Amino acid sequence: MQLADYLKSRAALINDELERLLPHAGAFPPSVHEAMRYAVFAGGKRLRPILVLACAEAVEGEYPAGTTEVACAVECIHNYSLIHDDLPCMDDDRLRRGKPTVWVEYGQAGAVLTGDALLTIAFDLIGRAANRDPAFSDRLLLCSQELAVAAGTFGMIGGQVVDIEYEGREAGKDILHFIHTHKTGALLRASCRLGALVCGADDAALNAVTRYGEHLGLAFQITDDLLNVDGAEEKLGKAVGSDAERGKTTYPALYGVEESREMAVEQVGKAVEYAERLSHPAVLVQLARFVLERDH
């Protein structure tokens, strides 16, 4: 299958599952349920849940029943983090994917609570993936903990804390690396690991998937920074150059555009190496190479 078709079909599947799994917009109290859907259905690429599915497929050839719930849990965590990051006390962003951010649309209290709700429901969704096999519960409990650790202060939250503390201050290469491997890298890495964990993968496969996720995550962040320098505003859905304006440290700012491009290529090469250790690597390989070509 062509990668574009794969991504499209998997994104459609995830959207259908999110539609099914999230509370209806009219459920009481409606404001928070409407806001959850406003955020989640604003048009993301579903990269993280697709990675969950693709890594399970790379390990086992197919993903077991219950994987889509786990994948949707990651997407909920990702969306909660965007909602809270956009708050006036954090990044103070009014626009996300070309639409008003949740706090602009639902107020600050609404945005705090909507983010809390999406973070919380992630762990409900993992519970809903259970079947009657205790061995599968065992795997899901590992998934739940994996996600909590990746989203926590030694993962995504830790990255956001440091990112905020360094806004407007000069950050060195170590801090830049910390921020990116934690703020965005931890959840991408966890997405890959969750795909392996739902399959009950052995240590070798889990390790390969983990390294794949780490290198893919770095490649993704570097190309994201590069797009922020020269991407077209309508594609990115936010103001181009906004990182520099806010004094955010980026790869191109610290290493220059050319070296940053080379670093992204190198990370993708390593991701491909690890993908090829798995039984069914084709999609993961194409996905890693695609990171270099993306324009949004």
Point out which span in 94-102, 123-131, 249-257, 274-282 binds a copy of itself (CB under 8 A): 123-131
* For a copy of itself, the closer CB: 28 or 258: 28
* Nearest CB to a copy of itself, comparing residues 74 and 219: 74
Can you tell me which of 70, 71, 102, 147 binds a copy of itself, judged by CB under 8 A?
A: 147
Could you tell me the two tokens for 273? Answer: 């190496």
* Residue with Cβ nearer a copy of itself (116 or 273): 116
Q: Which is nearer to a copy of itself, 59 or 140 (CB)?
A: 140
192/183 Cα distance (integer angstroms):
16
Specify the residue, 184 or 223, whose C-beta has the smaller distance to a copy of itself. 184
Residue 65 near a copy of itself by CB under 8 A:
no
Binding mask 212-231 for a copy of itself (x = CB under 8 A): --------------------
Residue 174's CB is within 10 A of a number of other CB atoms, namely 8
8 A C-beta contact, residue 33 and residue 23: yes
Does residue number 29 form part of the binding site for a copy of itself (CB under 8 A)?
yes
Say whether the peptide bond before residue 30 is cis (omega within 30 degrees of 0).
no
Q: With respect to a copy of itself, which residue has the nearer C-beta, 2 or 132? A: 132
Single out the residue of 44, 49, 66, 158 in contact with a copy of itself (rule: CB under 8 A). 158
Binding-site size for a copy of itself (CB under 8 A) equals 55
Residue 18 tokens read as 């999110």
Q: How many CB atoms lie within 10 A of CB 26?
A: 8
For a copy of itself, which residue of 10, 15, 18, 33 counts as binding (CB under 8 A)? 33
User: Does 28 sit near a copy of itself (CB under 8 A)?
Assistant: yes
Among 62, 138, 233, 262, binds a copy of itself (CB under 8 A): 138
Out of 11, 25, 95, 148, which residue is the one contacting a copy of itself (CB under 8 A)?
148
28 vs 295 by CB, closer to a copy of itself: 28
Binding of residue 21 to a copy of itself (CB under 8 A)? no
Which residue in 51, 119, 186, 205 binds a copy of itself (CB under 8 A)? Answer: 119
| Site residues (vs a copy of itself, CB under 8 A) | 23, 27-29, 31-33, 36, 80, 84, 87, 89-90, 107-110, 112-113, 115-117, 119-124, 126-128, 130, 134-135, 137-138, 140-142, 144-145, 147-149, 151-154, 157-158, 160-162, 164-165
